[in-house]
Structure formats: structure tokens, C-alpha cells
Amino acid sequence: MVLNIILTFVILVLIFVSIKYFIKKNKEAEIEEDIPVEDKTFTVEATIEFVKRRLDEITKINLYDIGLSEEELKRRKAKKYELRKALKGCTYGDVNDKKYVKELIYDLLYKEYGVNETNISKAIPFDIPSLLSPQDKFDILIYMYKKDFGYEALTQLIKKYNLATLKYVAGEAKPCYVITSDEINEIYEKEQLTLSFADKLNVLTQRIYQHYKGYSSIDEIRDMNIDGVSGGVSGLPESFLSQVAQTDGDYLEQMADHKVPRACDSIWIFFQGKSIRLAFLSFGKESELKRVCQNIYKYNNPGQLSDTNGFKINEMKDGSRVVVVRPSFSETWAFFVRKFDVKRATLEQLIVAPGKEDAIDLLKFLVKGARITSLTGEQGCRKNNNAYGYDRKHIRNNEHKGSRNSVRVALKKNIPNKKYIII
């Protein structure tokens, strides 16, 4: 009897010691796994992958398998539906859906991923200006200006530093409208910005969003109150560069140093009648430009952009007009977005030439009388803005076709006779 009690006690002690040993071993293993990945965890690429995976889990989870109460189930279902709707709507240019998705990304980074004041600089080196790229500095500038000026942020930045002026740049024989990396670096230095942790996290959130659901480097620019934005409309296509690089070693080195203008480096804005090239911005690679082109035109399901149907003309949710082209219809992937600020447009603002009163009165009488009226002029002279606010079926809009940021297209037999586009 005594022997049995002793043996039972010994066995229980051994079991207790074994359990304690395995628990301690597992804890040590977890610590060992966490340490090596610390430096890699908070890169932009890693955070993007985390956000993609986490949002995918949220939208695809089966709520009926969790064992929720009826009230909690209804709440989670509504939240899930709202998120799916926002993820779809933000790709159409809906700023409200974009705001919703960005707020969720912000919370995921802060509450789940553990981004803090220390490790956030591993993604974007906010505290070391010399390590910031021109795009990093521009993103910070736009964010800080947007806090004060809203969607007039880019306009205020351009006007404050007189960026919309003709200037000579290296490699150009004639002056052109361009904003360079040097100008962005100088502006950032002059501004002497002080960012809080919340500011830094918002900038990082925007960076993640624009590569996940947004329009890459032009995402915030597209939302600004400007006349338009385009991408892939200048520079050499990737197919041509790869062919030349196979036979020309020097050309390959120039490509590696980004001295050769590529189509994916081409970003233009249309600002107050001027086409301005943003030389400091780039899509980085052709696949990113292709992704933007494939998403930016899809509002109201206009059909698939394909090799046989190589162009699409559509509107975005905010009324912007978008044209997208792709090879082999065009030499590169490219898009054109024209924005129309309907709310602010008045005839008194748009017509400023001497004798404008008579012209304004005449236009009003013509529209009231339902007369067919033709508005003609150069690009950027506000023809569309004039037309909006009236019955547009009586107004014909004609414009000249000359423009520096243009893409060569091939005319094909499958394009209807009555359908033509000027790009």
C-alpha cells in the first residue's frame, strides 16, 4: 500500500516536471523565432503583405463557424459587407471608401502589427532626411499641406514655390514645364516640417494603400483639384528597351542608372492649362503601371481591356473622364484622367477677357433658348467646365489635338467607323 502511494507520487512529480520543461522550451523557441525577423518586419513590402493577408482574412472568414451571438453576428456581417463595398469602391476613385480603407489599415498597423515610434523608421526613414527619396519627401509635403488646404494642397504647393514655370533641364534643348527632384529636395528643406508619430503613420498608411488598392504614385495627386493626370505617355516602352539592351552594353548601364526615360517613369499633371511633368515620381516598373491601367477605368463595369479591345473610354465615380490604352493598340500601357471641378466652376470665373459681360449674357440666352452652341479652344481652356451646369445635349465641345504628352496608337479595323479617339 505504501509502495503504491510512493510510486504514484513519483509519477505525478515526473509528469509535472516534464510539462514544465516543455512549456519553458516552447517559450524559448518563440523568442528565438522573433529575434531574427525583427529588422525585416517593418519594411514597406512586409507591411503591405501583412495588410493584404489580414484584409483577405477579414473579408473571407465564415462568421457562422465562430459561434457568435445573434447580435454580434449581425454586427460583424454588416462590418464585413461595408469593408467589401469600400474595397471595391476605392478602386473607382471614391474618396469616402478610400478614407474608410485607410483608417482600417491605420488601425491594423498600430494595434495588430505593432508599429511604433521606433520601428516605423525602418519602413520610411522619417528622422534622417538625407535617406528620404524625392517621392518620400513629396508624400510628406502633400500630407502636411492637405491638413491645412485639403484637396487644394498640390495647387498651394505649386503656387507657393512657383513650380508651374518654363525651365531648362539637362538633356532638353528647349525649356519645358517640369518639377524636378532637386526642387522637391529644396522645398522639403525649406519647410522644416515636424512630424508626430500619427503623421508618420498616416504617411506610411497612404504608401501601403496606394500600392495595395490605390493608383500607385499618382493616388493622392488624382484626388487633388487639378485639371488632370496621366501616366505612361512619354518615355520608351519596356519592350524596346529590352531589345536594345541585348545588343548595346552601354545602353544597359544607362537603363540601370535610370538615365534612359522609361514609360513607367512618365507622370504628368494638367494644371491651369499647362502639362507639367513630375520628373521626381515614377511607377517604378512596368507591372505597376499596368496594374494602375487595369484598375483605373473599371467604374460601372465598362468591359475588359484586352489585346483585341486595346482602349477604354469611361468615367470615374467623381465624374472624371478616363482613357486607357494598352499594347498592341498603343506602344505602351498608358492612361489619361481629366477632372472637372463642377462645384466651383462659374462663368464669371471661367471667362475673364475684356467684354466678358456681353459674352456671359449671350451664353445664358443661348442656353435658355436651347440653341446648339459650339465651345472651341485649346486643351485646358475650361471648355468642359463651361459645358457642365447646362443642358449638354445642345453644346458641342471641340478641341485641338496637339499635346506633348501623347501616345502613338495603331488604327485597327475592329474600331467602329463612328468611334474615334485622339490621344
Task: Tell me the residue ranges of DSSP E strands in 180-291.
Answer: 228-231, 267-271, 274-278
Euclidean distance between CA atoms 420 and 348, whole angstroms: 33
pTM for the whole structure: 0.74
204's enclosing H/E stretch is helix 197-212
Per residue of the chain (423 residues), give pLDDT as tens: 666 677 676 676 677 666 666 555 554 444 333 434 445 588 999 999 999 999 998 888 888 777 788 888 888 888 889 999 999 999 898 999 999 999 999 999 999 999 999 999 999 999 999 999 999 999 999 999 999 999 999 999 999 999 999 988 877 778 999 999 999 999 999 999 999 999 999 999 999 999 999 999 999 999 999 999 999 998 877 766 666 655 555 655 655 555 667 888 999 999 988 899 999 999 988 899 999 999 999 999 898 898 888 999 999 988 899 999 998 888 889 999 998 764 555 777 677 778 888 888 888 888 888 888 777 766 556 565 555 444 444 444 444 333 456 666 655 545 544 444 444
Give me the residues paired with residue 140 across strands: none
The angle subtended at Cα 352 by Cα 145 and Cα 271, nearest 5°, is 35
Q: Quick one: cell of 45?
A: 513590402
Burial of 158 (0-12, 13-18, 19+ CB in 10 A): buried
Give me the residues paired with residue 230 across strands: 268, 336
Place of cell 481652356: 381
Query: Could you give the 3-state DSSP secondary structure of residue 15?
Result: helix
Q: Is the Cα torsion angle 393, 398, 401, 403 positive or negative in sign?
A: negative
Nearest to 286 by CA among 320, 235, 243, 248: 235
